Amino acid sequence: MKEEKIELKRTPLYEIHHQYGGRVIDFGGWALPVQYKGIIDEHRAVREKAGIFDVSHMGEILVEGGQALDLLQELVTNDVSKMKINQVQYTPMCNDRGGIIDDFIIYRLGESKYLLVVNAANTEKDLNRVLEVAKGYPEARVEDITDQVGIIAIQGPLAKEILQKITPQDLGDIKYFWCVQDVEAAGENTMLISRTGYTGEDGFEIYCPSQSAPAIWEALMKEGEGLGLVPAGLGCRDTLRFEVCLPLYGNELTEDTNPLEAGLGRFVKLDKPSFRGREAIAEMKEEGPGRVLVGLEMTSRGIARTNYPILENGQKVGVITSGSFAPSLDKNLALGYVPKELSEIGTALQVDARGRLIDARIVPIPFYKKEEN
Amino acid sequence: MIPKDLKYTESHEWIIVEDGVGTVGITHHAQDQLGDIVFVDLPEIDDSFGKGDIFGSVESVKSVSDLYIPASGKVLEINESLLDSPELLNQEPYEDGWIVKIQLEDVEELDDLMDAGEYEDQLD
């Protein structure tokens, strides 16, 4: 394997990835494993058993003090005032044109203390945006704590059983999109454990001081390996999120994409006090978005990829944002934007795969849903 | 892992010639770097290619890679089992994972390709 460039940023689990045979690549400036044994095996392990991921590259921005809530209410589109302590909320953050600067989750950690967990590649841009909006809220304090925090995600139907073996906290008490703070795991103090993830499976994310991350990882592997737990790379993280149609920033979401066309309207609360991008989004809501995000299934041979044109009768009508072989469905699927009038389920379209046309039709999203028990 | 009797390209294809017919595939190193291969785009029988032309592509979960023909010729046979079982390229890149057979125009073109030792040196 070729050595990665030395200037790449390292997570606290860098050594572990090499130890477990991870294929470490440059992922937005971070040295992270795209896979260990193979993307498809890891994908299936997460759907059927469990996988652990290093997501320490995610950015963490702490917003606290008086006016923290007011600042966030202006910053993001969702209604932060609805959050209770230890609750987690997903939200887009928009520019003044209604385009998405980033999408992230917010943890309410105290009366007036919030943690924004943002896409790694957007951390600096997001921090600048928060600081810009914070000028109007001098009592709020903003701090980037990315370098102090390690995050391990354990995902899959056995995630709860395995994590329970290393923590005295009853995980059954943590509901989906909630967290508990200052929990012990593997004898280490964690910042928090939340029932969250990016795979469409049940699972948890463990936030801990950087130096505690390797011990927690090793304890999970020790307890879980016999049950089918595998280290999982960013490759299957992408195919897992793709099958359940969780949007990926840079693919489905960009600064020129509005939350309404991206299907994120339920995370935009136009009835709360004003927020950045509100006017543009309200205007689009009035008219209805001109284009919408749809799911496509390839009906002839081929795989649609990001930025491939979508055609109707030879004319370009849209663009693919993500496309892949879907390991849990054994189909070639894609997400992309098409005009509203061509977005009905069943509509036949084509995808231009570097000059070769693939037949496709619009299918319902999400492509995959976990079985409820 | 690098068979001695094949010739190799810098783009990680291999070729072996028997009676003027070249069998072409990708190397173990190529399939390992690609990861799980999930789709193969093959040429049609009778398609003609000049040395170095793109004659198809292989797609892993994450990426698309073009295939370059190691020597000029006309396609005699394609490995149709790859259409339904692209994983053969991962499992047996030098055997059941062969991709095309071509009628070579000029066997001497192979002199420019690498032998196993040269290919191995290139990988380091």
Q: What is the CATH number of the domain that holds B52?
A: 2.40.50.100
How many distinct structural domains can be found in chain B? 1
Give B-chain residues touching A302 at CB under 8 angstroms: 39, 41
| Confidence at residue A372, expressed as pLDDT on a 0 to 100 scale | 65
B124 found inside a domain:
no
Please, what's the b/e burial string for B22-37 (b: 16 or more CB within 10 A of its CB; e: otherwise)?
Answer: bbbbbbbbbbebbbbb
Q: Tens digit of pLDDT for each residue in B9-32?
A: 999 999 999 999 999 999 999 999
Question: Cα distance from B39 to chain A (closest Cα, Å)?
Answer: 7
| Whether A191 contacts A181, CB under 8 Å | yes
Question: Cα distance from B32 to chain A (closest Cα, Å)?
Answer: 10
B6 found inside a domain:
no
B75 found inside a domain:
yes
Does B41 sit within 8 Å of A39, measured CB to CB? no
Question: Cα distance from A1 to chain B (closest Cα, Å)?
Answer: 9
User: Which among A35, A40, A305 is the nearest to B64, CB-wise?
Assistant: A305
Please, what's the b/e burial string for A88-106 (b: 16 or more CB within 10 A of its CB; e: otherwise)?
Answer: bbbbbbbeeebbbbbbbbb
Architecture of domain A290-363: Beta Barrel (2.40)
Using a CB–CB cutoff of 8 Å, tell me whether B4 touches chain A. Answer: no
Does B38 sit within 8 Å of A303, measured CB to CB? yes
Give B-chain residues touching A38 at CB under 8 angstroms: 35-36
| Confidence at residue A371, expressed as pLDDT on a 0 to 100 scale | 76
Does B39 sit within 8 Å of A303, measured CB to CB? yes
Does B59 sit within 8 Å of A303, measured CB to CB? yes
B72 found inside a domain:
yes
Does B39 sit within 8 Å of A325, measured CB to CB? yes
| Helix residue spans in chain A (DSSP H) | 14-19, 39-48, 68-75, 123-134, 159-164, 213-224, 234-243, 278-287
| Confidence at residue A7, expressed as pLDDT on a 0 to 100 scale | 85
B74 found inside a domain:
yes
| Confidence at residue A6, expressed as pLDDT on a 0 to 100 scale | 61
Residue in A157, A164, A162, A166 with CA at minimum distance from that of residue A189: A166
Question: Cα distance from A325 to chain B (closest Cα, Å)?
Answer: 6
User: Which among A239, A302, A354 is the nearest to B61, CB-wise?
Assistant: A239
Residue in B30, B110, B27, B39 with CA at minimum distance from that of residue B72: B110
3 state SS of A284: helix
Question: Cα distance from B38 to chain A (closest Cα, Å)?
Answer: 7
B93 found inside a domain:
yes
Minimum CA–CA partner of A2 in chain B: B124
C-alpha to C-alpha distance for A31 and A8, rounded to whole angstroms: 6
Cis preceding linkage at A366, omega within 30: yes
Give mean pLDDT in consecutive 10-residue pieces for chain A, a chain of 373 residues: 67 97 94 97 98 98 97 98 98 97 98 98 97 97 97 98 98 98 97 98 98 98 98 98 98 97 97 95 94 98 97 97 97 98 98 97 96 64
Using a CB–CB cutoff of 8 Å, tell me whether B54 touches chain A. Answer: no
The conformational region for residue A21 under phi > 0 = left, psi -120 to 50 = alpha, else beta, is left
Question: Cα distance from A121 to chain B (closest Cα, Å)?
Answer: 19
For A1-287, the fitting CATH number among 3.30.1360.120, 3.60.21.10, 3.40.50.720, 3.40.50.1950 is: 3.30.1360.120
| Whether A259 contacts A281, CB under 8 Å | yes
Minimum CA–CA partner of A235 in chain B: B62
User: Which among A40, A332, A356 is the nearest to B36, CB-wise?
Assistant: A40
Question: Cα distance from A194 to chain B (closest Cα, Å)?
Answer: 29
B3 found inside a domain:
no
Minimum CA–CA partner of A238 in chain B: B62
B19 found inside a domain:
yes
User: Which among B36, B39, B59 is the nearest to A38, CB-wise?
Assistant: B36
The conformational region for residue A347 under phi > 0 = left, psi -120 to 50 = alpha, else beta, is beta
Task: Please name the residues between 85 and 124 in chain B that touch chain A, using a CB distance below 8 Å.
Answer: none
Does A302 sit within 8 Å of B39, measured CB to CB? yes
More confident residue, B58 or A28: B58
Does ipTM top 0.85?
A: yes
| Confidence at residue A1, expressed as pLDDT on a 0 to 100 scale | 45
Residue in A125, A116, A61, A60 with CA at minimum distance from that of residue A83: A116
Instruction: Find the domain containing B91 and state its range.
Output: 15-108
Give A-chain residues touching B31 at CB under 8 angstroms: none
- Domains of chain A by residue range: 1-287, 290-363
CA B78 to chain centre: 11
Q: Which of B31, B38, B66 should be substituted to probe chain A, the one whose Cβ sees the most A Cβ atoms within 10 Å?
A: B38
